[in-house]
């Protein structure tokens, strides 16, 4: 198989879909690997490292997309990449299609097999390709939030850890999943007072045990959420429904009652965000203010730490890349229910229910479409 790895073109996206180690394994298995020039440079993987393991460096995106049987990326394609789509192409990347109707239309129109990292499942039913970036984004969200609380960034001028004689800052985390638990680790490590809100009582019990009571847990309802966010200096949004649009847990009304100079970091923004006032931003223009509250809603947060993020992501994705390359997409989808769960578009059809629901359109399970 010919595997193509283009340079990411989304704003300040500096990760890369395959590392030199992955390229070596693919080449050793008999596959051809095409790397766009400087695709790995911002992740500290120069072209020379790919050449040394037998990959081919090509000059531009067209030289990757056009001959490739499978394209491995990090982020969803942007509009300038849509012309590269064609029937039979396998695209393996984060897609986050729920809020992206134009991308969904393009994938369907060109009959691309779109396999989304964020909906692939393992035998335990978890989301192994979403987990590493959720870990990075969860930890990074507190670092970013702490920086934006500084006065020069429009924040309240609060030091999360406080100092002797001055209380620490209040952090409210919405959602007790991978993002939430990693945000809690960093926030507690900084010395903040941390409240985590979730709808699952069993999860709240687990987190109470994990953090030995240092974490305040709160059952999610409108009354509790409003009280928690209104007392917070920093609110982290980390609610996820796999493949679907995120529910709006924090309303406009709640935001309007928050402290002026408080900060919101909505990690769920890839799926539309769980804060009603959140809208996607970029690393070039990362923040804006609503009702005196600073919002940071960058859709590719882990790109801020691309070396760590690329290594963490490819550790998880590479076994699937190798399986797809070895078996071909159809055989891999048929043999692995987890990969089948990852298929969002196939041969001109939308195949993932949550995306169909978010976009109010029909879908067909991929099992009904396979030859």
Catalytic residue positions, numbered = 96, 270
Cβ proximity of 242 and 129 under 8 Å: no
In the three-class reduction of DSSP (H, G, I as helix; E, B as strand; rest coil), residue 16 is classed as: coil
The runs of H, that is alpha helices, within the chain are 20-28, 47-52, 62-65, 101-109, 131-148, 178-189, 201-210, 222-231, 252-256, 306-327, 329-335, 337-342, 353-359
Instruction: Please tell me what DSSP assigns to residue 282.
Output: -
SS (H, E, C) 219-235: ECCHHHHHHHHHHCCEE
Q: Residue 349: how many CA atoms within 13 Å on its side-chain side? A: 15
User: Distance from first CA to last CA of the chain, Å, rounded?
Assistant: 20
Q: Match 């120069």 to its residue by tokens.
A: 46
DSSP bridge partners of 349: 346
Laid out side by side, the sheet with 287-290 consists of 216-219, 193-198, 170-174, 234-237, 263-266, 293-296, 287-290
Q: Go through the chain and tell me how many residues it has.
A: 371
Cβ proximity of 119 and 352 under 8 Å: yes
DSSP letter string over 102-145?
HHHHHHHHTT-EEEEGGG---TTS--TTTHHHHHHHHHHHHHHH
């Amino acid at each position: 198989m010919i595997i193509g790895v283009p340079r990411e073109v989304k704003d300040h996206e500096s990760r890369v879909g395959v590392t030199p180690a992955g390229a070596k394994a693919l080449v050793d298995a008999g596959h051809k690997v095409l790397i766009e020039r400087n695709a790995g440079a911002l992740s500290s993987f120069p072209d020379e490292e790919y050449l040394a393991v037998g990959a081919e460096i090509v000059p531009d995106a067209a030289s990757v997309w056009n001959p490739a049987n499978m394209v491995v990326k990090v982020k969803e394609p942007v509009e300038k990449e849509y012309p590269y789509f064609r029937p039979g192409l396998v695209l393996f990347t984060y897609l986050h299609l729920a809020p992206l109707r134009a991308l969904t239309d393009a994938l369907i129109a060109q009959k691309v097999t779109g396999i989304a990292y964020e909906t692939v499942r393992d035998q335990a039913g978890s989301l192994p390709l979403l987990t590493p970036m959720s870990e990075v984004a969860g930890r990074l969200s507190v670092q970013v939030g702490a920086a934006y609380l500084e006065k020069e960034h429009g924040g309240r001028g609060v030091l999360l850890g406080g100092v002797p004689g001055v209380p620490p800052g209040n952090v409210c985390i919405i959602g007790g999943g991978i993002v939430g638990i990693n945000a809690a680790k960093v926030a507690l490590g900084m010395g903040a007072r941390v409240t985590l809100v979730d709808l699952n009582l069993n999860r709240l019990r687990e987190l109470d045990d994990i953090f030995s009571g240092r974490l305040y847990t709160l059952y999610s309802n409108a009354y509790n959420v409003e009280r928690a966010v209104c007392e917070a200096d920093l609110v982290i949004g980390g609610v996820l429904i796999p493949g679907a649009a995120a529910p709006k847990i924090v309303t406009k009304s709640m935001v309007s009652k928050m402290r002026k100079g408080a900060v919101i970091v909505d990690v769920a923004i890839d799926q539309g965000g769980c804060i009603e006032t959140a809208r996607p931003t970029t690393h070039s223009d990362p923040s804006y203010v609503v009702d005196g509250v600073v919002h940071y809603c960058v859709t590719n947060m882990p790109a801020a730490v691309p070396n760590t993020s690329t290594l963490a992501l490819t550790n998880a994705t590479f076994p699937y890349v190798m399986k797809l390359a070895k078996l071909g997409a159809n055989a891999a989808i048929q043999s692995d229910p987890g990969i089948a769960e990852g298929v969002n578009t196939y041969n001109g059809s939308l195949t993932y229910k949550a995306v169909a629901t978010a976009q109010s359109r029909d879908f067909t399970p991929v099992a009904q479409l396979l030859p």
